[in-house]
């Protein structure tokens, strides 16, 4: 009814020459919104049911003493209060997590960039090399690789037997609190694959003439890398940095499988501690509070990086303009 009326109105106003074309286009686009929603419904249903709903539910749980068994009781801010005032393990896990993020993200990005630069050569059969190098890193986050890691870095593992050949007595890398976290950081470096692919795509976008022009001016490869490649790649770097940090904050599999948070809580990353509260002690309310604190922490770190980005991220479109201001 109303649509016909609206259409009629438009026609009428057309006839009267009152409405400009622009406004008309806007209206017609909104006339049949149902179809648009239908197209995005697979995503929308997934988002509402699997993301928004659990998210809101966990926010609610974080203010309760939910334990699966007893009726849920609202406790207000008590979970948060306990986390911040009386939970040493929380502090330890935050410390470990930040150490892990600080260690793993830069190393992984540097390594991914290095490999991407190496693979960005016009060599015959380069695609085969790319696949061969990218492929193993896809499984870096799997349980199987974690088990492998445990054996490589174990007391009688591969590393120590190699060291032994040179007369060096290695320690149990993953069973020593001083080195355990570093073993996990090394494993994260192995998962460089997806960052590398994005870097590679970024490298391909850099116009060749920049390099040609600079080499005419006498710039060597080293200068080219820091003066052309890095600045031109900074949007890609920015993206990889943010994604890497978010991923690192949520690290779980390897810390859980390889060391299970030990020895002496030296690899008790945040997600492992959260898991312990939720599924060993069934304190799901408490664990939900922990999850929201992690969310806020990640948001703050990501926001801080986003704020600094204007000083080091350059977009080709706004060079010049950005400088003048």
Partner 1 sequence: MKVWKRLSGISASLVLALSLAACGSGGGNSASPSSDSASGSGGAAGGEKVKLRIMWWGSQQRHQATLNALDFYTKQNPNVTFEPEYSGMEGYLDKLSTQAAANNAPDIFQIDPSWVADWASRGQLADLSEGVDLSNVDEKLVNGGKVDGKQVAIPLGSAAYGMIYDKAAMEKLGLQPPKNGWTWDDFFKLAKESKSKLAEGQYFTKDYAGDYFAFSAFHYAEGKGLLVTEDGKFNIDRDTFLKWTKQFEELRNLGVVPPADVNASDKEMDPTGDLMVKGKILIRLSFSNNFVSWDSLKPGAYDLVTMPRSKEAGGWLKPSLFFGVSAHSAHQEEAKKFLDWFTNSPDAVKILGTTRGNPVNNKVAAEVASSFSAADKVGMEMYNATAVDGQQWTAGASGWTNWVDKDWALIRDELSFKKTTPEQAYEELKSMAQEYEN
- Whichever of 33 and 71 has its CB closer to partner 1, that residue is 71
Binding of partner 1 by 85 (CB under 8 A): no
Q: Which is nearer to partner 1, 192 or 270 (CB)?
A: 270
User: Please, what is the minimum distance in Å from the beta carbon of residue 287 to partner 1?
Assistant: 9
Distance CA 265, CA 249 (A): 17
| Residues within window 31-50 making contact with partner 1, judged by CB under 8 A | 47, 50
| Nearest Cα residue to 312 out of 240, 201, 232, 249 | 232
The alpha carbon of 284 is separated from its chain's Cα centroid by a whole number of angstroms, namely: 25
288, 59 contact by CB (below 8 A): yes
- 138 scored as a contact of partner 1 (CB under 8 A): no
- Using CB under 8 A as the binding rule, whether residue 142 contacts partner 1 is answered as no
Asked if 19 is part of the footprint of partner 1 (rule: CB under 8 A), the reply reads no
195, 146, 269, 135 alpha-carbon torsion, rounded to 10°: 10
Instruction: Determine which residue in the list 212, 226, 281, 312 makes contact with partner 1, applying CB under 8 A.
Output: 281
By beta-carbon proximity to partner 1, the closer residue of 175 and 194 is 175
Rg from Cα positions in the chain: 27
Closest among 84, 103, 95 to 267, alpha carbons compared: 95
Candidate list 126, 264, 308, 319; residue touching partner 1; CB under 8 A: 264
Query: In terms of CB distance, is 222 or 311 closer to partner 1?
Result: 311
Tell me the two tokens of residue 16: 């009267």
For residues 236 and 226, what is the distance between their CA atoms, to the nearest angstrom? 15
Identified binder of partner 1 from the candidate list 9, 306, 316, 322, rule CB under 8 A: 306
The CA-to-CA distance between both ends of the chain, in Å, stands at: 54
Q: What would the two tokens of residue 32 be?
A: 């049949």
Residue 246 binds partner 1, judged by CB under 8 A: yes
Which residues form the interface with partner 1 (CB under 8 A)? Answer: 47, 50-52, 54-55, 58, 67-69, 151, 154-156, 171-172, 174-177, 242, 246, 250, 252, 262-265, 271, 274-276, 278-282, 284, 291, 294-295, 298-299, 302-303, 306-307
């Amino acid at each position: 009814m109303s649509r016909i009326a609206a259409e009629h109105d438009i026609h009428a106003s057309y006839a009267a020459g009152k409405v400009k074309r622009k406004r008309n286009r806007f209206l017609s686009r909104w006339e049949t919104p149902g179809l648009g929603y239908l197209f995005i419904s697979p995503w929308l249903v997934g988002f509402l049911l699997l993301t928004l709903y659990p998210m809101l539910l966990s926010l609610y749980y974080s203010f309760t003493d939910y334990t699966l068994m007893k009726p849920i009781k609202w406790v207000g801010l008590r979970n948060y209060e306990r986390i911040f005032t009386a939970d040493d393990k929380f502090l330890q896990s935050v410390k470990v997590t930040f150490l892990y993020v600080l260690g793993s993200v830069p190393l992984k990005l540097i390594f991914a960039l290095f490999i991407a630069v190496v693979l960005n050569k016009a060599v015959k059969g380069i695609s085969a090399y790319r696949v061969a190098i990218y492929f193993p890193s896809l499984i870096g986050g799997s349980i199987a690789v974690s088990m492998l890691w445990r054996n490589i870095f174990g007391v009688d593992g591969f590393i120590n037997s190699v060291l032994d050949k040179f007369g060096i007595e290695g320690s149990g890398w993953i069973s020593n609190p001083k080195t355990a976290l570093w073993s996990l950081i090394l494993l994260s470096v192995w998962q460089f694959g997806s960052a590398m692919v994005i870097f590679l795509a970024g490298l391909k976008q850099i116009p060749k003439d920049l390099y040609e022009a600079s080499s005419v001016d006498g710039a060597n490869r080293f200068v080219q890398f820091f003066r052309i490649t890095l600045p031109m790649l900074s949007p890609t770097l920015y993206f990889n940095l943010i994604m890497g940090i978010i991923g690192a904050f949520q690290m779980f599999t390897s810390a859980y499988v390889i060391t299970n948070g030990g020895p002496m809580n030296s690899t008790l990353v945040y997600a492992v501690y959260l898991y312990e509260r939720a599924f060993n002690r069934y304190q799901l309310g408490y664990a939900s509070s922990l999850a929201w604190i992690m969310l806020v922490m990640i948001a703050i770190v990501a926001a801080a990086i986003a704020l600094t980005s204007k000083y080091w991220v350059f977009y080709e479109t706004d060079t010049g303009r950005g400088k003048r201001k």
